[in-house]
Structure 1
Amino acid sequence: MHALALALLATGVSLLLGPVLGAVTWNATPFNPAAVPLAVRTPYLSVWLPQGTGTALNDQWAAFWNGDVAAWTGYVKVDGQTYTWMGAANLDNTTKATQKSLEFTSTQSIFTLTAGPIDLTATFLSPVEPSDLVNQSLPFSYLGVSVKSNDGNSHSVQVYTDITGEWITGVTTWTANWKTTTGKVLTHQLQLSTQALYEEVRDHIQYGSGYYSTLNTKGTTWQTGQDTVVREQFIGNGSLANTADNYFRPISYSWPVFGFSHDLGTVTSAATEPVVFVVGHVRDPAIQYVTKNNGRQERSILFWTKFKTVSSAISTFTNDYSNALARANAFDARVKADASKISSDYADVVALSVRQALGSIEITVSKKSGEYNKDDVLTFMKEISSDGNVNTVDVIFPAWPVFLYTNPALGKQLLAPLFEYQATGQYPNRWAVHDMGSSYPKAIGHNDGQDEAMQVEESGNMLIMTLSLAQKANDTTLIKKYYNLLDQWTQYLIEDSLIPALQLSTDDFAGRLANQTNLAIKGIVGIKAMSKIADIVGDHAKAKNYSDIATSYAQQWQILALSSDKTHLTLAYGNDSSWGLAYNLYADKLLNTSVFPQSVFDLRKYPSFQGLYLEFDTRLFTETKWYANHALAYGVPLDTRHTYTKSDWEIWTAGVVTSTSVRDVLVSSVRKYAADGKSSQPLGDWYETVDGSVKGFRARPVAGGHLALLVI
């Protein structure tokens, strides 16, 4: 970047020029994402609208996060004319509604479509309930549908929706069976005829049941059967037949669907109360968990501590829609207000990130003497779309800000299984384990020690997260209970952090590298974190020793890590032509450990030409200036080996640079990428800074790292 560009940065002029997205026919607030979250609550209830540059709700089938179709159809009949408002089932005698708007918030995706003389609003609500973990654990999501007249006249209106068996598997040749329960709540339940406990195929779980429910109010009808038969029944009659097709068969054979219809009667210009549909997936047990002596424990989702049956949970959830919506609106408003203090672009990124991050976890409970043990709550995370591991430490770590912001208790429950397992002594390595199991939902550890080795990475991560939890939540339980483990990992960091051996960091796709500057930062901050931890438990001698070591290492690191021309930090010691995002400095700021000097990032302003100001440092070097000079169209590359970056690390780096302008360039680059329409998959964190194309990954929990600026 030349001097003039840098000067423009100082005045706040964005360098991210050019259109963000191709033109669409509706208003998008804040933008059209590559995929719109529809029902995103768990690793197995994660359904999106693939959108690309802008695809209407009724132009595409909904899809599971991996791209498998999860068909969700919606019709509305107005004065005898049927309109398609959701899905791609455009049958004869139907007309496509016209999408007018799309808005997404942290918890909701809201579509408004015009169907002739009425407007229909579909609100997809995936609640985020950080203050009520039982509610957060419920594996259900809402669809609320409201209509109103748009021409000043009254109209007769009926609304229809259905789902298919694609919601329970990605292999449509497999056989399913189903049943419909009637009463105050109507529920379609569907499941694979052949089930396999704790097994996945194409990232779909192979046991449990899918559910589709609605209140059995006046004018409500239901039907199961072949897709065309059920849908044409509604198109022709404005109602369903209240009949069941019990010919159980492969999901793709005569495509059985599970439909509901509501007669709304006469609709005026006042919006109707929402018709509520609930979709979900329940399995029990949920997680297989390793215990001492290589034992196995079956764990259930936390909601079972409150509800004796799935039907009672569905009934309560369905009837709670209006209250849940009010809570969601309050949560959305708080998140938006907090994020907008940084920038509107930042608020946009955060709004797209929350459901994605929290949709990766499941909150579980064990049993004791046949009863659920409310004192034993553990949370498990699936490493979606990369390895599929359970509680991967270096995936929890980048996601960590979303837990600190929403409820640190969730973070504690994510760390607890890792501590519990290693405290049994079954994991043979001295450093922290990489994950709790190679394949979700089997959290069965790595007693052979053959997990992916990230020695400094995971040990530093565990120490940093544990201290931040104590600081943010004033909870020292993990510190006191697992002090010896934390000390063990610190001893390893002392050996291998200042000059890290050839090994992987969390960016394992980039390969192994020795003498990693950024990895050394993590290890050194980890050692300093342990000094604070030792102080908390009153071990002051050890605290001073570790603090002295961290200080000494940081001083030596500044010499090792600095390029010979003193302009930047290297990617690896001694390689002057290399550099990378030093995002691990964020941990030093998060913990307020101040082990690295502010001069690493400081900028000073001096008058220059035409009354503008150039930003530069009179000290030896500054990373902030370096990033400003090396920003490409979609951000700063992760390091010099490639031109790609990661969105979480862009935001973490934005948290430590000392120029607001450079911070905003980093943030806005992520927003620009999220809105560029170059993919149709849920937000991927790994992308190209040259053209904004997706490099890999999708729907990963690391999107929680986009909340990093809200917790420092």
Structure 2
Amino acid sequence: MFLLTFSRHKTPSYSPVRPPAVPLAVRSPYTSIWMSNANNGTLNTNGAMFWPGTPAGWEGIIVVDKVAYEYMGTGLQSLPQLANVKAASQLAVSFDSQYSNFTIRAGPVDLVASFLSPVIPQDLCRTSIPLSYLQVSFHSTDNQSHDVQLYSDVNAGWISPETNTTVNWNLFEGASAVNGSGNATGSPSTVYSWVLSQENQYEFGEEQDFPQWGNFTYSSSPGYSRNFSFQSGHSLDLRYNYVASLELSNVVDSNYRGAQSKEPVFAFVHDFGLATSGDALYTIGTVQQNVIRFLTSEGLVPLQPWWTECYGDDLFDLIEFHYNDFATSQAKGASFETRLKADSENYYAIVALSARQIMAAYVLTVPPNLRCSNSSSITQGEPLMFQKEISSNGNMNTVDVIFPALPFYLYANPEMLKFVLNPLFYNQESGFYPNGYSMHDLGTHFPNATGHVEGNDEYMPVEESGNMLLMAYAYFKFTGDTSFLSEHYAKYRQWATYVTEYSLVPEAQLSTDDFAGTLANQTNLAIKGIVGLKAMSFISEALGDLQSAANYSSTASSYYTQWEQLAIDPSGTHTMLAYQSRGSFGLLYNTYPDKLLNLGIIPKRLYDMQSRWYPTISQAFGVQLDSRHTYTKSDWEMWTASTCSPSTRRLFVNALAYWLNNTSTRLAFGDLFETVGTGAYPDGVTFIARPVAGGHYSLLALLKTGQNSQTGTSPGGFPQNSTQALTEWRAGYLNISASSTPGSTTRTATVPTVPAPSSGFFNNSTTSRAGHR
């Protein structure tokens, strides 16, 4: 039967690991498309999905000698049986920080579908473009010429998944609409674009995380094909007629309707005739031009995306620039990729998979042109950066979501840290926030940066105030820019006053791990405040306020001495989760900034104690976040790993790589998962596709530690010179054992092995866990 033909497939090989989901077009909060590997699925069995798991119609067919092979999507499986239809076989999947590549066999032809979402943090103009690339290339495996066509379509579900939301569309040749029907008359380089939008738009609104305004675009050009054609229409009719006749009609369907009403699809065909090889290039993504709503002294104002500053505000100019920029974007992405691979070695799979996910949570905008603003946070010629707290609650510029991503900023481009903090400073320094501690977020739901004028944001005062102090000093440490310190010094002093009063004994406050609930006197929250005060002493010192610097430093040192007495378990083997909870434990990740910033307040004996402890409690998929639950967070694991000895670091890194290759989860890289069982999501909580994956770069950020420091030695015992750091790195700080190299596996012979961790990874003994529940 037809459907049985499609259900049979061999599991392809994966490199460097087999992740729960593979990024396809991952470029912004609204251009975030993945392929799940659930049930050993492939590109032509599971198809494409929006990051929450909502199906995204994206179809790909290669016709070879009049036989149609479906290589992407599942659209042909809904058609009546046709003799000339077969499923292509997916042979291999590989990914790096820029690309996901699928190698597929279609009879006598091999096809490669290469999905490129450039990660180029130093190039803010290109980074701000919310469009992604797909290049499909083929070559014959028998060195003979074959009659080849490439077909691709997308559906209206990209702009709205709802049946009752009418979608409008048209095809454009360059910037000119192709009305009714007609041939593609342009040159080989002419860009054709399907442009879709909701008929009734709700600006700055979301529904099921889909934008309710803006345009979805899917573009291609004839390139080197012999004939180029297009068509839109009902999916079943259009695909059936194409497979039966191998032609499109060059007709634009004029019956506007909802995505699920006689499902409209929008297709291109490249006909290569007899050929041994060929390729087609597509670009895809969702574009808004009023992209953020921002509270200012002149009221709520819409902000334009940063790309309008670089390329003008015309949508078709942007599409054409981006389409023709493919080679340059490739080259720039390759530069970042080369550096990342050289720096990360066997840690590479984790940070490579994280890169696109991190960058896709942000929007860069042109700052508002305010008549009366004296704020240093609004600088014409510099972008503002807005982050969506993807999947957890959709907040805007959440301080404790920016904070775990800190290592990525510092590694990739520290200026991004300033750009994402500036909107928070502007809001609080303009009198829009009434509390004396740092705000939690800039708005309850992206893309509305409307703040909390009543001060009723989520209550995490020690958490967020400590985070802001540490990020401010980190930016200075990695750039040497004192202006960022002096411009906001009054605000730092305000937050430091709060931290001084409440950090040593934080009572019943939430920490960033708010999903775990309120807990009084959290050890890890207290050390964040203490480390933050030490950072504040260096901020004051950098600005020449030596008396304040001495006071902050003395207070931090005194607090640390008291903290040790309160925080270390009576057994002397580890710190407790909370002062009052003997036998409890947790990841002490908030000591990482002490290492990263060379603060020198945490003694080596504490790091050594914790480093010895973690292997005794580690499970199959890592070290649990704390003793209340068996789940962990990958970002905090990598922060913690950066504070540990080489052998314990390897334990953390190997465990996360092992989870990636073996977890039962099926969506984008999740940062919260069980350390036991199948590595599943915890009950009731699913964190996926979040920018906190920037925390996975914690080890790489250490390579840059101190490069703009004012001091010559590292109080924390870490190298400040990058050459020295890299030498020590390769000598064992991060060198994962050779057994971690991909090879065979017990799952299938074609999925790469990331071996189960050893030496304490599976320690489930009652002795090591007694009293911890």
**TM-score by shorter chain over 0.5:** yes
Residue 368 (1) aligns with residue 369 (2): yes
What is the CA-CA distance between 1:574 and the residue it aligns to?
Answer: 3.0
Q: Is the 8 A contact 2:137 2:280 kept in 1?
A: yes
Matched, 1:421 2:427: yes
Give yes or no for the alignment of 1:528 onto 2:569.
no
1:188 paired to 2:175: no
CA apart distance, 1:125: 0.3
Of 491, 500, 505, 2:497 maps to 491
CA distance in 2, matches of 1:519, 1:369: 38
Counterpart Cα distance in 2 of 1:311 and 1:83? 33
Structure 2 counterpart of 1:632, which letter? Q
Task: Give the partner amino acid of 1:29.
Answer: S
After TM superposition, the score normalised by the length of structure 1 is 0.91
2:638–2:652 CA contact under 8 A, matched in 1: yes
Matched residue type, 1:627: Y
Partner of 1:221: 229
Aligned to 1:278: 283
Match 1:650 to one of 615, 620, 637: 637
Contact 2:437–2:498 at 8 Å: present in 1 too? yes
1:317 equivalent to 2:314? Answer no
What is the match of residue 94 of structure 2?
103
| Counterpart residue number, 1:639 | 626
CA–CA separation in structure 2 for the residues paired with 1:198 and 1:125: 27
Question: Aligned pair in 2 of structure 1 residues 107, 557: CA closer, same or farther (>3 Å)?
Answer: same
**Is 1:707 the counterpart of 2:697 in the alignment?**
yes
Measured in 2, the distance between the counterparts of 1:62 and 1:277 equals: 16
Q: What residue identity is the alignment partner of 1:651?
A: M
Distance 1:443 1:24 in 2: 47
**Deviation of the 1:369 alpha carbon:** 8.6
Counterparts of 2:553 and 2:29 in 1: how far apart (Å)? 40
Change (3 A) 1:94 1:143: same
Measure, in 1, the Cα distance between the counterparts of 2:525 and 2:301.
35
**AA paired with 2:284?**
V
- Contact 2:369 2:380 (8 Å CA) reproduced: no
Deviation per CA, 1:157-211: give whole Å up to 9, x if none.
Answer: 1101111011112323321010111141100000111110111110111000100
Distance (Å, rounded) in 1 between the aligned partners of 2:370 and 2:524:
48
Over 3 Å counting, the alpha-carbon distance change for 1:477 and 1:246 in structure 2 is: farther
Contact 1:645 1:687 in 2 (8 A): yes
Aligned AA (1:303): W
Note if 1:205 corresponds to 2:182: no
Equivalent residue in structure 2 for 1:258, among 260, 263, 266: 266
What amino acid does structure 2 have at the position aligned with 1:401?
P
In 1, distance between residues paired with 2:153 and 2:479? 43
Match of 2:113 among 109, 122, 132: 122
Q: Which residue of 1 aligns with 2:354?
A: 353
Residues 162, 258 of structure 2: 8 Å contact kept: no
The alpha carbon displacement at 1:265 in A equals 2.9
Distance 1:66 1:405 in 2: 28
Residue 70 of structure 2 is aligned to residue 84 of structure 1: yes
Deviation by residue 1:116-164 (Cα, 9 ceiling, x = unmatched) = 0000000000011212101000010000010000112111111011110
Q: Is the 8 A contact 1:500 1:514 kept in 2?
A: yes
In structure 2, relative to structure 1, the CA distance for the partners of 1:172 and 1:669 (3 Å cut) is farther
Q: Does 1:679 align with 2:665?
A: yes
Q: Distance in 2 between matches of 1:707 and 1:484?
A: 31
Provide the alpha-carbon RMSD of the alignment.
Answer: 1.6
Trace 1:295-306 onto structure 2 (pairs within 5 A).
Answer: 295-306=299-310
Which residue does 1:547 correspond to in 2?
553
Q: 1:408 to 1:24 in 2, by over 3 A?
A: farther
**TM superposition shift of 1:477:** 2.9
**Residues 313 and 646 of structure 1: CA distance in aligned 2, closer, same or farther (over 3 Å):** same
Preserved CA contact (<8 Å) 2:161 2:259: no
Letter in 2 for 1:675: N
SS in structure 1 at match of 2:168: strand
- Which amino acid letter does the alignment assign opposite residue 308 of structure 2? W
SS, match of residue 675 in structure 1? helix
Q: Which runs of 4+ in 1 moved over 6 A?
A: none
Partner Cα distance (2:247, 2:336) in 1: 37
Distance in 2 separating the partners of 1:448 and 1:94? 62
Distance 1:53 1:33 in 2: 12
Would the aligned equivalents of 1:365 and 1:373 in 2 still touch at CA under 8 Å? no
SS of the residue 2:593 aligns to: helix
Q: Which runs of 5+ in 1 are unaligned?
A: 1-22, 603-621
Residues 373 and 449 from structure 1, CA distance in 2 versus in 1: closer, same or farther, beyond 3 angstroms? closer
Q: 1:331 aligns with which of 336, 350, 370?
A: 336
Q: What does residue range 421-460 of structure 1 map to in structure 2 within 5 Å?
A: 421-460=427-466
How much does 1:27 deviate? Answer: 1.4
Give, in whole Å, the separation in 2 of the partners of 1:223 and 1:685: 41
CA displacement 1:242-266 (0-9 Å, x = unmatched): 1100100111111110111111233
Q: Is the 8 A contact 1:233 1:241 kept in 2?
A: no
SS of equivalent residue, structure 2 residue 339: helix
Among 593, 605, 613, the alignment partner of 1:599 is: 605
Distance 2:111 2:36 in 1: 21
Matched letter for residue 357 of structure 2: Q
Measure the CA separation in 2 of the matches of 1:564 and 1:677: 36
- CA gap of 1:178–1:348, structure 2 versus 1, over 3 A, is same
**Within 2, Cα distance between the matches of 1:434 and 1:369?**
25
1:135-146 matched pairs, under 5 angstroms: 135-146=126-137
2:513 aligns with: 507
User: In structure 2, what is the equivalent of residue 630 of structure 1?
Assistant: 617
* Secondary structure at the counterpart of residue 588 of structure 1: helix
Which one of 388, 391, 394 corresponds to residue 388 of structure 1?
A: 394
1:31 aligned onto 2:37: no
SS at match of 1:383: coil
How far the C-alpha of 1:69 sits from its partner, in A, is 1.1
Aligned CA distance change for structure 1 residues 582 and 367 (closer, same or farther; 3 Å): closer
Corresponding residue number in structure 2 for 1:235? 243
CA positional deviation for 1:487: 0.7
Counterpart pick for 2:54 among 68, 91, 115: 68
Question: Per-residue deviation at 1:399?
Answer: 1.1
Amino acid at match of 2:119: V
Per-residue CA deviation, residues 68-96 of structure 1 (Å, 9 max, x unaligned), is 11110000111111110100112433110
Q: Which of 15, 23, 42 lines up with 2:28 in the alignment?
A: 42
Instruction: Indicate conservation of the 8 Å contact 2:10/2:90, yes or no.
Output: no
Distance in 2, Cα, partners of 1:264 & 1:677? 41
Indicate the SS of the match to 2:24.
strand
Query: How far has the Cα of 1:267 moved from its partner?
Result: 2.3
| Secondary structure of residue in 2 paired with 1:366 | coil
Q: State the partner residue of 1:574.
A: 580
Q: Quick check: 1:147–1:267 contact (8 Å CA) kept in 2?
A: no
Tell me which residue corresponds to 2:141: 150
Q: Which residue in 2 is equivalent to 1:307? A: 311
Residues 76 and 84, structure 1, Cα contact 8 Å, conserved in 2: yes
Deviation at 1:367, TM superposition (A): 4.8
Q: Counterparts in 2 of 1:684-695, with a 5 A limit?
A: 684-691=670-677, 692-695=679-682
Q: Is the 8 A contact 2:108 2:140 kept in 1?
A: yes
Name whichever structure is richer in strand by fraction.
Answer: 1
Q: What SS does the corresponding residue of 1:44 show, helix, strand or coil? A: coil
Partner Cα distance (2:467, 2:39) in 1: 37
